[in-house]
Structure 1
Amino acid sequence: MEYGISYGLAFVLFAGPYGVFLYQVVYRTSVYLLRKIKNEKRSDSVIDTLYNIGAFTLSNVAGYYLFYAFIPYFTPFPFGFWLLILLLNGITMYISDLTLIILLYLEKSIQTRQAAWAFLKDRSILDLWKTGFTNALLFVFLIEGRWESLIALFMLNYIVSRSFVLKSQNMQDKLERNQFEEMAYTDFLTGARNRAFMDKQMGQPKLYDAPFGVVVCDIDQFKKVNDTFNHAVGDTVIIHFAKLLQNHLEKDDCLFRTGGEEFTLFIRNRNYDGVKELVESLRLDVERSFVEAEFKGELQHISYTASFGLFYKRFTDHTSIEKGHTYADDLLFDSKRTGRNRVTAEDGS
């Protein structure tokens, strides 16, 4: 067997029940010893090895008797031999699975019909076909003594299977890298992008094509929320604020958490008046909303407001966007200084 391809059916048809038993003993023992020598984490126990010898021998012997009982009925039909091998391959595979399910049931690892059915459904039809055709070819080559073809079949199966394993591993590695990158660029509390991702986005040439609005905003007098209630309630308010901001943005807009209760927005594909109108609607929605949070066993309804600084301009590079962000932050400070719960905006285009 190489990477999930079992040759047991071909061997039992060629060498008979005793031959396949000897094949399973040699093969399974070799795998067991090789894994022990390599100190692999996935090291089968002696019991597992004995089970594999018995289960696969049993299923292959069943395939042997079924083949010689039904081959006279399949031979007259076109591709009858191949169809019978495919059918028997599926039967022997499922006999092995059923044997394992019984063992797992006795160990109480599988306790419901749904779990057993899910285990059986895990078999891939394409894998069954691949193994069936491989066994059919192997049996033909063994009967006809075509040893070069037989060796070529083994090599082809190894190369294809190994290629699939490497491709799957590469895909898994890429997926894990993407997941790590996603974690590195995502704020764990709100799910918004973080400051590191904002810095990365500032270097994207697509941001230099047209003017857009850089908005810096935060929750007014947020410290009072933490002091009046606790930090868990404060986190709930921050999450609510982030969701409200995100709900107003379009596909090409960006939201970043750039501080404790501070967020930055890149609002694109609008003129200055359109961006200012959107930010004003954000301010009003925050003012009209409230947060439900539990504190000391009671449900609290917490209202809050937010202040905004908007700077609109066509930026040319990473540095100019950084300066625009700083300028928007200064405008946010002006909103705070002049009474909070307001938008201070400037068109620099």
Structure 2
Amino acid sequence: MSRVEQVSRPLRFRFEAMNTNVELQLCADKEQAEHAASLVKNWFETQEQRFSRFVADSELNRLNNSSGWMPVSAAMDEVLSLAYGYIGQTEGIFQPGISQALRLSGYNASFEKVLERASYRPSMDIPHLIGAREMESVSRGQERFDYSRPTWIQQEGSRMVHLDPGTELDLGGIVKGWAVERIADWLQKKMRIAAGMINAGGDVQVWGTADHPGWTLEVTSPFAQEQGMSGEVRLRNGAVATSGITRRQWRYNNGRTAHHLIDPRTMEPADTDILQCTVAGKHTSQCEIIAKTVCILGSSEAVKWLNRHYDRHDILWMTREGTVYFRGNTAALAECWPGFDPDHRFSLI
């Protein structure tokens, strides 16, 4: 086999980080690919230690426990700046200030520990979700949480952050996509890897050249028994992110069902008709935010929100009833989303 043939065939690596499975495919020679894979693994592990609310001395927890101004790392400053912008873009549906609500819903430890103590029965016949208890501040009669604004201030040019009193941030809704996007960019620009793919639990960034045939990514159905609802996304350069309420869902002995997508308007797990949403675009973090927002809003509100913002992403979602919706470039649907025949199609405005 020639070196050109060897480099064009991607080498695969897998590891666990950020409480999910990470897959890396690189079109590079063996030595370069192995070196890159070790750096990517280190990158994800470092960001987990920095941003996890389940690591006692993480930078996130230090920030949440701070009073007054706190100096933060360049990575934390960058993620908070991104999050600040996404709050505005999503009209507050993406809101990092939900850490207390996640704890009240039962997600107060890493997910495998939540499942260990819960009577977890992964059923696709999902009942109406009974949400978490009201936030403590609400039960005491205090003013409800203003979900539509950021709950922190960043001092421009100084990497200093000040949280509003009582604020606890959870950045899990953005960090994974950001980490995928940043390390993919580094592999291209610094290591000169011409084609590759990073998949962190459904948050995917791919890149390639005209010599590379492109990437085919499977989109699995949230209904294990409904194979006909599975399909693929095809692209050469760009990002795909999938979010939903079925993978991180738990049920307790009292019958209460909860999941990790908190609706900041109620501070409870979102009561939504959408089980899963997949978004294709250019940037993983943006695709991740859109997928989560669509899931939380539900089908009717999501279409209105996407139209208000003239969003240009391809978006496919599946509902509890088994209905498939697609909003995006309908002319390229068969080419870019093979295997899917949506029940409802919305062209870009």
Which of structures 1 and 2 has the larger relative contact order (alpha carbons within 8 angstroms, sep 6+)? 2
- Normalising TM by the smaller chain, what interval? under 0.3
Larger Rg: 1
Identify, as 1 or 2, the structure richer in strand: 2
Identify, as 1 or 2, the structure richer in helix: 1
TM-score relative to the length of structure 2: 0.19
